[in-house]
């Protein structure tokens, strides 16, 4: 499947596409995010556009159909970039989409001058954790509540 995958960075003009994909992710995998569909469905256009200016957001397509998304931006340290909002449509999982999104974000972070990337993965999301491990991430030993009663674990890797 990977031969038909393309990844591109979104611009503020892509706000409707990003909104659609983000809301689909929140509906399909609410356990994986610190937000919810109900919290984001009424966000105004200007905030969607601003979010596309403030962070590097990428979309993967398979033969022209949206297959996944990932975002990245500066972390708490000027040396570290954070990966957020990773999601692959279930129809395209295990077909190389997730790996290509991660690799694209790693390339973006390197070219932006970051030396490390970190992310948070929710407890029990073994598919995502395996994807990150395949791409060089390891757990740091730090955990936090993503929602009451649900932990997420920090993973990181050098660039």
User: For 83-119, what is each residue's pLDDT tens digit?
Assistant: 999 999 999 999 999 999 999 999 999 999 999 999 9
Average pLDDT over residues 13-40: 93
Average pLDDT over residues 11-36: 93
As a whole number of angstroms, the distance between CA 26 and CA 39 comes to 10
User: For 49-78, what is each residue's pLDDT tens digit?
Assistant: 999 999 999 999 999 999 999 999 998 888
Q: Residue 34 above 50 pLDDT?
A: yes
CB 121 within 8 A of CB 129: yes
Q: Residue 1 above 60 pLDDT?
A: no
Region 2-158: CATH code: 3.40.630.30
The helix (run of H) or strand (run of E) holding residue 134 is: helix 126-134
């Amino acid at each position: 499947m990977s031969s038909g995958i393309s990844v591109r960075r979104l611009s503020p003009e892509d706000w409707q596409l990003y909104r659609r994909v983000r809301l689909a992710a929140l509906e399909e995998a609410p356990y994986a995010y610190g937000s919810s569909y109900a919290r984001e469905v009424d966000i105004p256009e200007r905030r969607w556009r601003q979010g596309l200016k403030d962070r590097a957001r990428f979309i993967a397509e398979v033969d022209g159909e949206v297959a996944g998304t990932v975002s990245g931006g500066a972390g708490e340290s000027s040396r570290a970039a954070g990966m957020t909002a990773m999601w692959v449509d279930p129809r395209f999982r295990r077909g190389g989409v997730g790996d290509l999104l991660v690799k694209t974000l790693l390339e973006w972070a390197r070219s932006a001058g970051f030396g490390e990337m970190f992310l948070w993965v929710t407890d029990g999301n073994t598919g995502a954790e395996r994807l990150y491990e395949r791409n060089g991430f390891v757990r740091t030993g730090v955990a936090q509540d993503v929602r009451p009663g649900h932990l997420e674990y920090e993973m990181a890797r050098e660039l």
